[in-house]
Amino acid sequence: MRRVVCHLGVVAIAVSNGTAGECDVFDAFADGDAYDTWVLSATSPGYVYVEETGGRLQFPMLNPTIVYGFHTAFAWSDGWGVDLLQDWSASVSWSADLPDLAFSGTQTSIMFAVMRNGDPGYPIPIDGVSIAAVKTGYYPAGIDTIDIIDWSSGLGTVSTSAGRSWESTVTDFYYDASTGMLTFESSGGVGGVVTSINGSGSTAWLGFGATSSGSPVGSWSGWGVSIRDVCVEGTMVGMAVGACCIDDACVQTIEASCFGIWDGAGSVCSICEGDLTGTGVVSTADLLQLLILFDTDDCQADLDESGLVDVFDLLELLERWGECD
């Protein structure tokens, strides 16, 4: 495992809803390629599906008048997740402009999900929870709810707060590792607490989903059910995570969220300057690694931050010879 040495810090990014966030993963869905960050899946392509278009992650519904049953689509974090042994947070700007439904039993929703022990390519969560804005059909107008869905063993059990929902909003999610609780609050005042995230293991994928069910199912436009941007702050883990140096800061993120020098998946930020090989000791191996990187702008070997790996960095490394503090 390679280690990147920069002065540790956080990176302030202005997200599109106008607030500033300290984002370790950020996506404004503006590059037209959500596959850089998310695995997109669907149970019924052509009915509910997910796509990145118009600066949003959208969940369009097509041909609803002849469709029956349960249909869903999800986007899961691709090769990266959050460490449940550490605190993390996510800020999501989204639209849940769900349609009024004329048929009792018909239901539509958009949700934020945290999945453990599951397959990101699978269309519904396996072990974990979802927080969903839901509209249930009831003539003459639908009923708004916020549902907390427990997906233990792939079977959803729902705790519902009736008469509460959100439409266009920013919703903040906060995970407390000491208690295992996930709290959420929207700019419209809707909030709640998830007491636990079921499943085992310390890694969880984050995702978004939309569902439509009933006889027939409801319909909506993709713009009305969509995610505008997402900012995640915390300890990122997974095969796609690496070190990103921006000015004098180093963050663990994915390549799509690195707005500086990306050192590759598997590289990590380090507080021990000179330990280029990640052994905990500045030694001959690190000296050889620096010589390999000589005359480059490699972030891990540019110890004096001059923009070039040169003899001054060699002298800096020799000054740090020995075990790391």
Measure the CA dihedral 135/136/138/139, to 10°: 40
What local confidence, expressed as pLDDT, does residue 314 receive? 94
What local confidence, expressed as pLDDT, does residue 30 receive? 83
Cα 184 to chain centroid distance, Å, stands at: 15
> One fold for both 15-237 and 241-323?
no
What local confidence, expressed as pLDDT, does residue 43 receive? 57
Model confidence pLDDT, tens digit, residues 109-159: 888 999 987 677 666 777 889 998 888 776 556 678 888 888 875 566 677
- At the topology level, CATH places domain 15-237 in Jelly Rolls (2.60.120)
The full set of domain ranges for the chain reads: 15-237, 241-323
Collect the ranges in the chain with pLDDT lower than 50.
Answer: 1-21
What local confidence, expressed as pLDDT, does residue 294 receive? 92
CB-count exposure of residue 232 (10 Å: 0-12, 13-18, 19+): buried
- Name 223's Cβ contacts closer than 8 Å, sequence gap at least 6: 54, 56, 58, 95
DSSP state of 99: P
Residue 94 to residue 210: CA distance in whole angstroms: 12
Residue 51 to residue 119: CA distance in whole angstroms: 19
Strand partners, 132: 111, 147
Residue 195 to residue 89: CA distance in whole angstroms: 16
End-to-end CA distance of the chain: 19
Residue 114 to residue 89: CA distance in whole angstroms: 12
Residue 69 to residue 89: CA distance in whole angstroms: 34
- Please state which CATH number belongs to domain 241-323: 1.10.1330.10
DSSP conformation letters of 224-265: TEEEEEEEEEE-EESTTEEEEEETTEEEEEEGGG-SSEEEEE
What local confidence, expressed as pLDDT, does residue 248 receive? 64
Q: Residue 182 in 3-state DSSP? A: strand
What local confidence, expressed as pLDDT, does residue 219 receive? 63
